[in-house]
Structure 1
Amino acid sequence: MEATILILVGLSSGVFAHQLALRRRFLVILIFLAIVGGLYAVIRWYVGIAEGLDSLVLAIFAGIAVVPFAAGLVLGAITGYLHLRWRTARRST
C-alpha cells in the first residue's frame, strides 16, 4: 500500500511538472523544488533530535515520501522541456 502511494506521488508530481514546463513555468518548478529541499532538511533535522521510536518512524516515512515527489518534479521538468523543444522544432520545419 505504501509503495503504491509513493509511486502515485512520484507520477503525479511528474505530470504536474511536465505540464508546468510545457507552459514555460520553470520558476514555479524551482520554487517547489526549494520547498521540497527545505522540507527534507527539516525532516533530517527532526530525525536527528527525535526521541522515541514512533516519532522516528514517522519522520523517516515522511522523508521517504519527499524523495519521490522531488524526483517526479525533476523528471517531469526534463520531459516537459524536451517535449517543448520537440514541439517547437517540429513547428519550425
Structure 2
Amino acid sequence: MSMISSNALPGFDKSSEGFTSSARDVGEVIAYLAGGLRPDPETLSRLSLSLRGLREFLIEEAEEQAGREAVVEDLVLAQAVRQVVRPVTLPDMPVKEVAHA
C-alpha cells in the first residue's frame, strides 16, 4: 500500500521502456504544472500512479545505494570485499591472418 492510497502499487517496470515511459510521465506532469491546467481524472490517476511507482523505486534505490556507500566507507569491510571480488582478466582474442589476393 502507498501512503496516499489504500491500493497496492504495481511493480515498477525497470526495463528501458519502463524508464522511458516514466520519464515521459514526469515530463507530462511538468507540462501540466507549468501550464496551470488540471488533467482529466483518468490522466490524473494514470500520472499519479506512475509517479508513486517511480517514487517507491527511487526510495528503494537510495536505500541500496546507502548500503553500497556504507561498505565503501567501512575500510575493513571494503578490503574484505576487494579480496573476494577480484577483477576478471581474459586472454586476448586470437587474431587470424587473412591472406590478401
Name the TM-score, length of structure 2 as normaliser.
0.43
**Higher relative CO (CA 8 A, sep ≥ 6), structure 1 or 2?**
1
Name the TM-score, length of structure 1 as normaliser.
0.46
